[in-house]
Amino acid sequence: MAAGTMSLAMTAPANASPASWDRASSIARTGIVSFSLGLPAAKGDWSGLKQDTLALGATAVITEGLKLVSHEQRPDGSDDHSFPSGHTSISFAAAAGIEQRYGWKLGLPAHLAAAFVGLARVEANKHHLHDVVIGAAIGEAAGLLLAHKRRHAHNAPLGAGFSIVF
């Protein structure tokens, strides 16, 4: 997932059209979200799937609510739903959930892909920089607050409320 997104970013010419950046941001967002939901499902991590779904849902509700009350015009003038960036917020929520559940080795590439989504939204002329920064903060906060470290079946209790997690 991250390798495909990063290769997409590395091969994107500096003079790519806004439509190309828009398409790339949508593809990357869909990939990150699919990975964040597909990985726990594939691992039978139903608690993780529930947590990621909750984080993504909360992010969508907050983001869409802010869009409805802020009425900020997009840089390309297409509508007044620029603030905050939904593509970016949902991508960062997915990335934070991946990192919370499965650690930095999967979280770092997911965050790089989410950052690419934010960059691509600005390059697509769909968002101002502050739309993307606030969107990233909303998604990151939701993912960090609503997804938790995965507990493995090999916990060794030590007593008095302590355990070693492998």
Q: pLDDT tens digits, residue range 98-144?
A: 999 999 999 999 999 999 999 999 999 999 999 999 999 999 999 99
Percent of the chain with pLDDT over 70: 81
Q: Mean pLDDT over residues 37-64, rounded? A: 96
Residue 79 pLDDT grade (very low, low, confident, very high; cuts 50, 70, 90)? very high
Residue 3 is predicted with a pLDDT of: 53
Residue 16 is predicted with a pLDDT of: 87
Q: How far is CA 20 from CA 12, 14, 108, 109, in A?
A: 9, 11, 25, 22
Please report, for the chain, the start and end positions of each structural domain, with discontinuous segments joined by +.
Answer: 2-164
How would DSSP label each residue in the chain?
-HHHHHHHHHHS-TT--HHHHHHHHHHHHHHHHHHHHHHHHHHT-HHHHHHHHHHHHHHHHHHHHHHHHH-PPPTTSS-S--SS-HHHHHHHHHHHHHHHHH-HHHHHHHHHHHHHHHHHHHHTTS--HHHHHHHHHHHHHHHHHH--PPPPTT-EEEETTEEE--
Residue 60 is predicted with a pLDDT of: 98
